[in-house]
């Protein structure tokens, strides 16, 4: 292991994100990558988390148009089904923040 890798490993720190942020940029994919054809068209966004970092994620549960600056929250959703036995793979997506009444 190089000295650089050792230093990087020592500097790692666990951090928990709140899972909320805002739409920084987005596009609608009409021709998705292989394995995601059944989900097209779908919205892919850059989400600026409240803590600062940008993450790329699919937007889900959309009932209307998406705007830059929309508040979003992370949710767990099905990403794909793999193999002959149909193993379901889950991951994160984002949806517009639901109003809390």
- Tens-of-pLDDT digits for all 101 residues of the chain? 566 666 666 667 777 889 999 999 999 999 888 877 778 899 999 999 999 999 999 999 999 999 999 999 999 998 888 777 788 989 999 999 987 76
Give the per-residue pLDDT at 6: 63
Give the per-residue pLDDT at 79: 82
Cβ contact 72:96 at 8 Å: yes
Give the per-residue pLDDT at 24: 98
Give the per-residue pLDDT at 84: 73
Distance CA 41, CA 38 (A): 8
Cβ contact 36:85 at 8 Å: no
């Amino acid at each position: 292991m190089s000295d650089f890798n050792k230093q990087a490993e020592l500097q790692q720190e666990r951090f928990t994100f709140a899972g909320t942020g805002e739409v920084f940029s987005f596009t609608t994919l009409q021709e998705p990558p292989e394995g995601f054809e059944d989900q097209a068209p779908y919205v892919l966004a850059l989400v600026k988390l409240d803590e600062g970092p940008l993450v790329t994620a699919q937007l889900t549960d959309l009932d209307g148009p998406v705007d830059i600056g929309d508040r979003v929250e992370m949710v767990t959703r099905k990403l794909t089904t793999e193999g002959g036995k149909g193993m379901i793979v889950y991951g994160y997506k984002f949806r517009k923040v639901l109003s809390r009444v």
